[in-house]
Structure 1
């Protein structure tokens, strides 16, 4: 239960600290004329623990190298888009990162190599590529004293294009009937004005993955978590602790992002009166019941894009799903005993 000991007040301090740190980093990157970065994920949300890795995103300006740019949602793979660009890039280095299909030019997500060479070359640590991220093992992060850090840890650098509008695929979320009145209308408006990101990675289930970009909602998710009360914060931290134990069975099919989406869906279903300190165990078990249902149905909707399944069927094997369901059922049937093992 150590993972829930951090109070809401301490989480708020960390959220504000990382927000200010990101502002300073952006200013410095602008001065150095390199793509700017921001700390995101659990460290920015105040939901990290001793074993959480650090996540950063790097914002690219390479879309400025084209006269025209059109975002085209991929209907066959919800939550992914293609970027159609003009035929003549302004920068010669971009020629190698476009591909022509049916008389149309598309920007390949491998263009992230340019930003890696421009920005991540400043990092002394050796980088390895894992999906959307370049991962570095570091021994310390200057200026991060308030964050939980270890002697050495992995930092994932994810390369993105920032979009100021709200994606058409997530239009349903703006008008969704929230039974619990969460998030509030005011928060929904703020979130839809925060834009979204296109992350340089394609779908594992697509033959066109090299020209796909994943639609991501880092800022929107952060704003949602900043609206959490103390019980909700403890609940998501418990879910992340359980993820660590559950990953021994489900491997990478159950992630921190899985738990975040489960939490968001549960908050829509239960009013704020339900999420109270005296009811923490019930809240936690309710979230586990929702996760169990998703695993049984082999479908977990992305919170903002319903049609996107966060489970990849060919990776989440039948045996893994059965064992995951058995684990969750045992936990729900005896939560007091099970939670002591986290």
Structure 2
């Protein structure tokens, strides 16, 4: 095997470790798609639905992978000609007028009569005796007032929420494929497949509120967005193509953007270059052995685009995405930078710290370098860690009230029964965990609603249902989901039952094969290796305890939930911290020695931080302080509250901590 081929295989395996194997990427997409589908079915009665997009949706899990989302306003539709108005009765329609706009952009003419919200109506203006929807006014009215931790960037509201970068863009859907993009259908004979093309055309496109900088109506124009089509094209890539795209993203992030002005090149340009290379069939075969060849072909196309100052949009080639960027000095500097990188050849990869850390070992001792084996025990641990991390990150459906919880349960039951055969194993596992979360929320909300009922029979019936839901959730969910049942028993003064569950949980939490924070060792595979994902989840996985701010779990944490300052906030608590807190609460009136040991262990865990995610350290210190205060150790409680304030304010506990300190001073 030639040196270049072997190096290509090495880079392929390095990228599999950095970006994910084919199976990992498929798993991430399956889980993300399922959650998006479930949210859409839950929110069917609302006037909008959320469409996930961006690198995270495509299957990347890079540090800079944004959580991009498009908020589709479902009461509105855009059409391309008047005959398309047939069949629309409840929608407000806009007619696309591209006559005075650059390719890829359009004006949106309001067709009367129309039902408009106040914000949409304020975004309209009169021109030529007709009403149009202004993109700049739309951004002003829809994106402002914005969150204090966000800002308007192009058509998006961008910001950082609890350490996660997000970009949210309001958009208006169109059920028809743009006439200006019809040529894309004709030239797509080799890629993608006819089924993908039909699906893309059937879903149409969207319009986002941003105009062309050189357009005649920059403040009022709208850009045609092909977000769904682009996502499906990325999904239809084989893994070598996907990793080539990922390698370009790494080179952009780790090398190019450090030496040139920010904003000249983006990952969107990289994706466009890969699309063109695949469709034009420049490379007949995309295999691991020729990954570097594939990369250089895409890189050369990008270099050519910068040199010529022309980057044609993949769907509307007349739309030059470099038109206002690649001019003068900035164009020359970027070209010289890219050309210099191209001349370095394979040495270019050594400038990427993501790749260099792996390839150094290969160059030092190529004969002893061991290829990545997906059948090994280490690989099973790595894949399961990635899987359950995805499950945890997508296990979030806001349940504001009991009526919504019941609606969620019915929707989940209907969706699963209707399409169970069409779901993958990963999606079934995600459905299982979401069901557990909904059951837990429903149980506590039901109890809160019936707590003030005078009739004992109704209260008994509600309590029986709540207990059944929490027991079922404990059987189906993580090992740590038993703690919700402990909280319920403690809340309802059944301390003996709570302590029995705690004894079981204590034994299970001490098992050496448990996986938490994606951390496990060989004992994990020895105990549950080769078993179903559902079995692994129920026997060997623990996750953070999540307390929704609008649900009453236990009195001791109500102040923290109430003063978070977020309508739909969630408190994330280490399961090991929660276990010790509940052990202290359940024993402090019955066995002070056990309660004291729980406080001692809790203090050690919080101080050392071994079983605590960094983002949850503030609430863990807060919990330690609460337990110390209840025990009578006011000085220790004060020290813990001070430590909670010093931590990163992930849970926004400043006001709650202030009140706790004031209660000590009194």
Same-fold call, TM > 0.5? yes
Shift of 1:87: 4.8
Is 1:206 matched with 2:215? Answer: yes
* Deviation by residue 1:80-115 (Cα, 9 ceiling, x = unmatched): 111111355433613321111111211112335555
Residues 243-282 of structure 1 aligned to structure 2 (within 5 Å): 243-244=252-253, 245-248=255-258, 249-270=260-281, 273-282=284-293
Rounded to whole Å, the distance in 1 between the matches of 2:286 and 2:100 is 37
CA distance in 2, matches of 1:183, 1:329: 31
Q: 2:202 aligns with which of 170, 182, 193?
A: 193
Match of 1:164 in 2: 175
Matched residue of 1:209: which SS?
coil
Write the distance in 1 (CA, Å) between the matches of 2:113 and 2:194: 43
Report if the CA contact (8 A) 1:38-1:58 is conserved: yes
Deviations 1:289-341 (A, max 9, x none): 0001111110000000010011133x434222222222222322333211121
1:220 to 229, 251, 254: 229
Which runs of no fewer than 5 residues in structure 2 stay unpaired? 1-10, 78-89, 353-666
Tell me if 1:107 matches 2:133.
yes
Aligned match of 1:300 in 307, 311, 327? 311
Which one of 169, 187, 205 corresponds to residue 176 of structure 1?
187
Could you tell me which residue of structure 1 aligns to residue 42 of structure 2? 28
Post-superposition shift, 1:158? 0.8
How far off is 1:176 after superposition? 1.6
Deviation at 1:212, TM superposition (A): 1.0
Larger radius of gyration: 2
The alpha-carbon deviation at position 286 of structure 1 amounts to 0.4
Offset at residue 136 of structure 1 (A) = 2.7
Partner deviation per Cα, 1:22-46 (whole Å, 9 max, x = no partner): 1122233335x35221221111111
Q: 1:37 aligns with which of 36, 39, 50?
A: 50
Q: Which residue of 2 aligns with 1:96?
A: 122
1:238 corresponds to which residue? Answer: 247
- Which of the two has greater strand per residue? 1
Distance 2:193 2:107 in 1: 32
Q: Distance in 1 between the 2:76 and 2:157 partners?
A: 20
CA contact (8 A) 1:264 1:303 kept: yes
Q: Which runs of 4+ in 1 moved over 4 A?
A: 1-4, 64-68, 112-117
Give the conservation status (yes or no) of the 8 Å contact 2:101–2:107: no
Structure 1 residue matching 2:310: 3-state secondary structure = coil
Query: What is the TM-score when the length of structure 1 is the normalising length?
Result: 0.86
* 1:77 aligned residue (98, 102, 109): 102
CA contact (8 A) 1:77 1:206 kept: yes
Match of 1:287 in 2: 298
Greater relative contact order (Cα < 8 A, sep 6+): 1
Q: 2:76 aligned with 1:50, yes or no?
A: no
1:111-126 aligned within 5 A: 111-112=138-139, 115-116=142-143, 126=149
Q: What is the deviation of 1:116? A: 4.6
CA 303–250 in structure 1, closer or farther in 2 if over 3 Å, else same = farther
Q: How does 1:143-154 map to 2 (within 5 A)?
A: 152-154=163-165
In 2, Cα distance between equivalents of 1:115 and 1:98: 13
The residue that corresponds to 2:331 in the other structure is 321
Q: Distance in 2 between matches of 1:194 and 1:66?
A: 17
* C-alpha distance 25-66 of structure 1, shift in aligned 2 (>3 A): closer
Alignment correspondent of 2:24:
10
Determine helix, strand or coil for the equivalent of 1:206.
Answer: coil
What is the alpha-carbon distance in structure 1 between the residues aligned to residue 243 and residue 341 of structure 2? 17
Instruction: Note the residue ranges of structure 1 that are not aligned, 5 or more in a row.
Output: 140-151
Q: Aligned equivalents of 2:228 and 2:35: distance in 1? A: 15
Q: 1:95 to 1:189 in 2, by over 3 A?
A: closer
Contact 1:3 1:49 in 2 (8 A): no
TM-aligned CA distance change 1:125 to 1:154, over 3 Å? farther
Distance 2:55 2:93 in 1: 35
Q: Take 2:282 and 2:214, find their aligned partners in 1: how far apart are those partners?
A: 37
Deviation track 1:219-250 (CA, whole Å, cap 9, x = no partner) reads: 11111111111110110001111221222314
In 2, distance between residues paired with 1:204 and 1:17? 38
The 1:227–1:91 alpha-carbon spacing in structure 2 relative to 1, beyond 3 Å, is closer
Quickly say closer, same or farther: Cα 1:274–1:250, change in 2 above 3 A.
Answer: farther
SS of 2:57's partner is: helix
CA deviation vs aligned residue, 1:122-162 (integer Å, no higher than 9, x gap):
xx7633111100013111xxxxxxxxxxxx13200011111
Secondary structure of the equivalent of 1:158? Answer: strand
Alignment of 1:126-145 (within 5 A): 126-139=149-162
